[in-house]
Structure 1
Amino acid sequence: MTRVIHSLDPHGRTGGRAYLRMLHDVTADEIDWQTVPDRKRTYRVRRWRKVRHLARITPAVHALRHSPGAFVWDDLSLLLFTPEMRARTIFVFHHYESLQHDSPPVEALLWRRLFQVLPQCAAVVCVAPYWARFLRARGIDRVHVIHNAFDLAEIDHTRSLDRQACRAEFGLPPDVIAVYAGKAVHWKGTATVAAALGSDPGIRVITTGSNTIGFPGAHFDLPRDRYLRLLRACDVGVFHSSMREGWSRCAAEALLVGMPALIRRRAGLGDLARLTRQPAPELDRLPEQVRRRASAPEVDTKIAYDALARLDPGYFATAWNRLLRQVPE
């Protein structure tokens, strides 16, 4: 008999949506997922986005108060739950970054209240050890780390692709070092990396995603298969996020397809750097570092692959099913 679990809708382009989508996929045989629409990223005007989201989702949350089943929840609308609902909830804590507040000064108060009610949840899951320590320092004890997971069949297929053919697809000359700087969105550090490398004619900075910062360089907004081919085409990843990230799925996927990287050791991104033994970027000598990493021995990329390859859907399903069985309905 399948269990009923309620969650926000997992569709979207962020790492958090990808995490929730994988959870739905790997537990589909055991769980009847009932979802609530999550429209907070559909508003064109960013200001007050989370407050508008809370107002709009309130009726849907209230309608669940007497519904059977458990909850896997991952945003501020947990504040609308009753204590009894929270006792049936696993909260997925992706990360916290005040730079991303779109509803100040109210939003800081909402987050403070969230930290106060998280101990009422059956469990809290985060994607990196940094965030587990962050939560425990705030008195939240029932914290579990379940990392992002990756489809290794998809990754290994990408690794098998002819790299020169992938470079030709994206117009990358053989004498240019292609540097992947991640998503061109706010606080990811892509503009900083481009500025540190921009005067070097032998290096081309490449970004992906929705380009909310208006990056003027080589930018690609691609479907999944072409995005992976682009990663295969690049020589080095440089990830210099100024915000405290959960873990960075972009950086992890770049490492998995065989790209040596330079990763800033900050928050969850630092956990990823330490796990895969990637050095940190130094902006004042970044071109030199990039050239050195572009010629890194194969053993460096194998260390990163081996560290991440254990985080496959089987690992993810086992960890989550074990935790879900402990949650009351």
Structure 2
Amino acid sequence: MQQELKKILISTYKPTKGRGGFTYATTLKEALSQHFQVDSLNLSPENKLPLYFKIPKILTNLWESSSVKSYDIVIRDLDSCLLLNKKPTKTIAIIHHIDYSFASLLVKFVFFFLTPLILRNLREVDAIVVVSKYWQRYFEKRGYRNVHLIYNGFEPSFYNLDLDEIEQFKKNYGLLGKPIVYLGDCQKAKGVTKSYEALKGIDVYLVTSGKQGVKIPAKNLELGYEDYLKLLSASFLVVTMSQFPEGWCRTTHEAMLLKKPVVGSGRGGMRELLEGGHQIICDDFNSLKEKVKYLLDHPQEQKRVGEAGFNFAKNFTAEKFKNDWLKLLFRVCGNKIE
């Protein structure tokens, strides 16, 4: 049965600006807004109150979003799949990863009970979208149907940065005179604490970015997106030693688009990205220093690995992202693409 597709709601629990899930949802809204009316709903209030003060409002927003009947399709992230819309509204779930091991004790406690309910609801949705083969296999092995792989989308031309601006960036932040090794988003889950401990004896600038979730002696910069890309481009190499199963890892992908070699843990979907781009997989922190020093001591190898990464990463275009989503939407609604 065909259903005319006009209005879409993208419902997320708490997208954090700059993180992969936020960027994916933002890119999706921009792409689909060219064809449909697309609205967004953030279930969690945008204030600094503790989580337990937000819970009533979160539940109210979740209930209201699941009761709305004016949308043809509701696209939900993992946490907002706790409640689903009734038919004829179609539901698509976007799953980046499932992991609460580095969350607060309250979040761990809450989702210990909620996760089984969410996973049960995922069997009822019209489609599950994952962002890597790792998570595609995860759901298919557990008997889930209608699992669709739609990778992150990037516009490669956006990553052509001006060399003079990069040099000025280094000067502005006191990063001249020796190589920069970027350790990633300053969060424990991203492995920055252990990465710093492994690399602290090397004569380089060890740099993290974003809100400082853990206190380590590395230089941490809170940057806008353009300056964040300048930091990546200014780096000699990038380390992404995530300690949880990633959905994909946009930092790794962006570094590859900037022709920077990546040494990464390969956890979750990140392994597909590293292997596809012929980057360096580091399975444990004990060997991290050796792998980083090898690239530092062999600039030709650093250049070769950077070029290999770019040649793979450039294939994940924003246009393909949009087209893959349009095909899925029309399939879910029973329409044909004109």
Q: If the length of structure 2 is used for normalisation, what is the TM-score? A: 0.87
Is the Cα contact below 8 Å between 1:126 and 1:144 reproduced in 2? yes
| Partner amino acid, structure 2, of 1:264 | S
Instruction: Summarize deviations over 1:177-236 as a string: whole Å, max 9, x none.
Output: 211111001311001100111123x12211011112133321111111111111111111
| 2:70 alignment counterpart | 67
Unaligned runs of 5+ in 2: none
The 3 A distance-change label for structure 1 pair 41 and 279 is: farther
- Contact 1:167–1:234 (8 Å) recurs in 2: no
Corresponding residue for residue 167 of structure 1? 170
In the TM superposition, residue 53 of structure 1 has moved relative to its aligned partner by: 6.1
Quick one: which amino acid aligns to residue 67 of structure 1?
Answer: S
Find the counterpart in structure 2 of residue 7 from structure 1: 10
Q: CA RMSD in A?
A: 2.5
Alpha-carbon distance in 2 for matches of 1:123, 1:291: 45
Distance 1:11 1:263 in 2: 22
Match of 1:315 in 2: 320
- The separation in 2 between residues aligned to 1:2 and 1:328, in whole angstroms, is 7
What whole-Å deviation, never above 9, does each CA across 1:230-257 have from its counterpart, x for those lacking one? 1111111111111111111112111211
Matched residue, 2:101: 99
Identical amino acids, percent of aligned pairs: 22
Question: Aligned to 1:55, which of 55, 59, 70?
Answer: 59
Q: Distance in 1 between matches of 2:98 and 2:273?
A: 17
For 1:216, the aligned partner's letter is P
| Residue equivalent to 1:127 | 131
Are 2:311 and 1:306 aligned? yes
User: How far apart are residue 263 of structure 1 and its match?
Assistant: 0.9
1:155 to 2:159 alignment: yes
Equivalent residues of 1:261, 1:293 under 8 A apart: no
Residues in 2 aligned to 1:241 and 1:206: alpha-carbon distance in whole angstroms: 16
Single out whichever of 99-108 and 298-307 deviates more from structure 2. Answer: 99-108
Q: Is the 8 A contact 2:180 2:206 kept in 1?
A: yes
SS, match of residue 93 in structure 2:
strand
* CA gap 1:251/1:297 in 2 versus in 1, 3 angstroms: closer
> Kindly tell me: are residues 304 and 268 of structure 1, through their superposed partners in 2, closer, same or farther at Cα, counting changes over 3 Å?
same
In 2, the alpha carbon distance for the partners of 1:115 and 1:159 equals 46
- Compute the displacement of 1:79 (Å): 2.1
In structure 2, do the counterparts of structure 1 residues 50 and 88 end up closer, same or farther at CA, with 3 Å as the change threshold? Answer: farther
Cα distance, 1:11 vs structure 2? 7.4
| Structure 2 counterpart SS, 1:73 | strand
**In structure 2, C-alpha distance between the alignment counterparts of 1:145 and 1:26, rounded to whole Å:** 17
Q: State the aligned residue count.
A: 323
CA distance in 2, matches of 1:74, 1:50: 18
| Structure 1 segment 196-211 matched on structure 2, within 5 A | 196-200=198-202, 202-211=203-212
CA distance in 2, matches of 1:53, 1:134: 32
